[in-house]
């Protein structure tokens, strides 16, 4: 090998060091991907949570900004709404106004709007109601890490020493031995959402919100398979669907599902999950334009012909990975335009991002998972606080004087970008599940220990089994109203 010129040695050393550093970032990011916790984005200033001090966590999104007043938030919301409506019309030109892709609804703009209003009513008007008597909670069959709350609850039962176990009905004390977070079921407001004149959305028997059963869900699937795509919160939703169908195959780790066998749900129906934090299509990143994947995000290739020709129902979410509004909008428009143009028979269901419960670790410290409730819904254990769903969702708050909003997304960011996503997805002929407020009412039932974005299983997230079933039931058309 010829000797390196004297002037070239410093350059070679610099390039070599740069390559080593990039490899270090790449492998350190991948090695921690399974431990990534979106709650590390918790914007709460002065949090006592140990995760709040992890400034070098790849999941952290440090975007310092000036504090905004509530009036500033309102102005920013109005501006974002105006821009996204203009962009959605420019790209999609109302071509999907009379149909919902992948559904039986075509050629009727009024029906499209009524169906969307009905689904929105189910998710935004209702309450979490406690089930007082014995019932059958969804058995969790997925990733074992989501069962941590049940393990804590079982330890509390062991301390009582009365010989009862998780899931039993204690006839002596007239109480059902499951965690309180599991006992609450989402019930839409029939006065607003049920059949009858003056209600929101559909006014016939299709408006009746029905309970999920596997045979009924299999029927409305019409032998179409599910592909769930998004960040680690979507990985948990994939677990909920698999558990609801009592799927025998389980993949562990959000990076291990795409390249393994799918879950079998029904005859001819499968479920698969792909970890893609940005919902990017395969060529969304172009090295020729000096664009490269970020070390803090995972973008598994999912929008490929071999997957989209097999999986005809997509459940998407952008999660808690922060992007400025204009970047969030342009990236989502790019993805939805690709699906809208090349896969018009694919049904796209986009769920809202759930706000982070900033105080969930504090609830855990008060013994939320150790509370064994009596028949009156009160804790039987002295000094243990029994947590209940909120009656109203948390509101935006102005930052205190001199306080910086250092970490994003904030609650205002999540709410604003949810509305941006709704405008884009519906313009492209998809369905938007507006579950933001629904799950903002549940600071309880979360994983805790710094993970305040995801829920324990079973738990509040199981409500998606009912919601997805009723959504697909409507999209089959009027003949499926009583399925």
Q: Is residue 22 part of a domain?
A: no
Q: What is residue 97's predicted lDDT score, i.e. its pLDDT?
A: 75
List pLDDT tens digits, range 112-137: 999 999 999 999 999 999 987 777 88
* Host domain of residue 457: 38-480
Q: Which helix (H) or strand (E) holds 185?
A: strand 184-188
Residue with the two structure tokens 């939320």? 368
Q: In which band, very low, low, confident or very high, does the pLDDT at 410 lie, cut at 50, 70 and 90?
A: confident
Better pLDDT: 482 or 198: 198
Q: Which residue has the tokens 């203009």?
A: 86
326 HSE (CA, 13 A, CB side): 1
**24 in a structural domain:** no
Under 8 Å between Cβ of 233 and 354: yes
pLDDT recorded at residue 27: 42
Bigger pLDDT: 322 vs 61: 322
Q: What is the pLDDT of residues 149-205, one digit of tens each?
A: 999 888 888 887 776 778 788 878 778 888 889 999 999 999 999 998 888 999 999
Rounded Cα distance, 141 and 232, in Å? 17
Arithmetic mean of pLDDT over the chain: 81
- What domain count does the chain have? 1
Q: Among 45-59, 95-109, 306-320, which range has the highest average pLDDT?
A: 306-320
The answer to whether residue 21 scores a pLDDT higher than 50 is no
Q: Beta strands 126-130 and 184-188: pairing type?
A: antiparallel
Contacts of 264 (CB under 8 A, 6+ apart): 247, 248, 249, 270, 271
- In angstroms, rounded to a whole number, what is the distance separating the alpha carbons of residues 292 and 238? 28
CA distance linking residue 308 with residue 315, whole number of Å: 12
pLDDT in the model for residue 289: 58
pLDDT tens digit sequence for 417-437: 999 999 999 999 999 999 999
CB 233 within 8 A of CB 453: yes
We report the CATH number of the domain holding residue 113 as: 3.40.50.1110
Which residues are CB-contacts of 170 (< 8 A; sequence separation ≥ 6)?
162, 164, 176, 177
The backbone torsions φ and ψ at residue 373, rounded to the nearest 5 degrees and listed phi first, read: -90, 145
Name the more confident of 161 and 324.
324
pLDDT tens digit sequence for 266-283:
999 999 999 999 999 876
The rounded distance, in Å, linking the Cα atoms of 274 and 317 is 11
Tell me if 230 is assigned to some domain.
yes
Separation of alpha carbons 328 and 289, rounded Å: 19
Tell me the C-alpha distance between 396 and 351, whole Å.
21
């Amino acid at each position: 090998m010829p000797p390196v010129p004297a002037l070239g040695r410093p350059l070679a050393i610099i390039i070599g060091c740069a390559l080593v550093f990039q490899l270090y970032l790449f492998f350190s990011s991948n090695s921690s991907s399974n431990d990534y916790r979106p709650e590390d984005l918790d914007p709460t200033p002065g949090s006592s949570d140990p995760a709040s001090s992890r400034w070098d966590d790849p999941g952290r999104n440090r975007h310092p900004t000036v504090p905004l007043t509530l009036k500033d938030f309102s102005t920013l919301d109005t501006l974002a709404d105006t821009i996204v409506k203009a962009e959605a019309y420019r790209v999609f030109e109302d071509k999907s106004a009379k149909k919902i892709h992948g559904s039986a609804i075509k050629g009727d703009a009024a029906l499209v709007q009524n169906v969307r209003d009905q689904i929105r009513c189910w998710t935004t008007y209702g309450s979490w109601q406690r089930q007082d008597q014995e019932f059958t909670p969804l058995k969790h069959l997925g990733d074992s890490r989501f069962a941590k709350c049940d393990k804590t609850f079982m330890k509390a039962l062991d301390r009582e020493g009365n010989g009862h176990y998780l899931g039993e009905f204690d006839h002596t004390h007239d109480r059902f031995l499951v965690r309180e977070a599991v006992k609450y079921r989402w019930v839409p407001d029939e006065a607003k959402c049920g059949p009858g004149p003056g209600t929101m959305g559909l006014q016939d028997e299709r408006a009746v919100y029905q309970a999920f059963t596997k045979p009924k869900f299999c029927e409305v699937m019409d032998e179409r398979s599910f592909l769930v795509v998004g960040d680690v919160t979507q990985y948990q939703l994939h677990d909920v669907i698999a558990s609801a169908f009592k799927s025998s195959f389980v993949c562990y780790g959000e990076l291990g599902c795409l390249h393994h066998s799918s879950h079998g749900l029904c005859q001819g129906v499968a479920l698969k999950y792909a970890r893609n934090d940005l919902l990017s299509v395969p060529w969304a990143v172009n090295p020729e334009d000096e664009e490269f994947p970020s070390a803090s995000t995972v973008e598994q290739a999912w929008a490929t012909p071999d997957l989209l020709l097999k999986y005809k129902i997509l459940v998407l979410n952008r999660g808690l990975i922060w992007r400025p509004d204009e970047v969030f909008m342009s990236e989502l428009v790019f993805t939805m335009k690709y699906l809208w143009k090349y896969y018009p028979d694919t049904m796209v269901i986009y769920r809202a991002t759930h706000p982070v419960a900033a105080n969930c670790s504090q609830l855990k410290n008060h013994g939320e998972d150790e509370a064994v409730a009596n028949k009156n819904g009160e804790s039987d254990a002295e000094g243990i606080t029994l947590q209940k769903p909120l009656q109203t969702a948390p509101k935006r708050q102005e930052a205190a004087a001199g306080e910086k909003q250092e970490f994003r997304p904030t609650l205002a960011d999540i709410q604003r970008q949810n509305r941006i996503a709704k405008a884009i997805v519906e313009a492209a002929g998809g369905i938007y599940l507006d579950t933001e407020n629904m799950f903002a009412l549940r600071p309880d039932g979360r994983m805790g220990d710094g993970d305040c974005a995801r829920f324990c299983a079973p738990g509040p997230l199981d409500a998606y089994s009912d919601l997805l079933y009723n959504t697909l039931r409507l999209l089959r058309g009027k003949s499926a109203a009583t399925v």
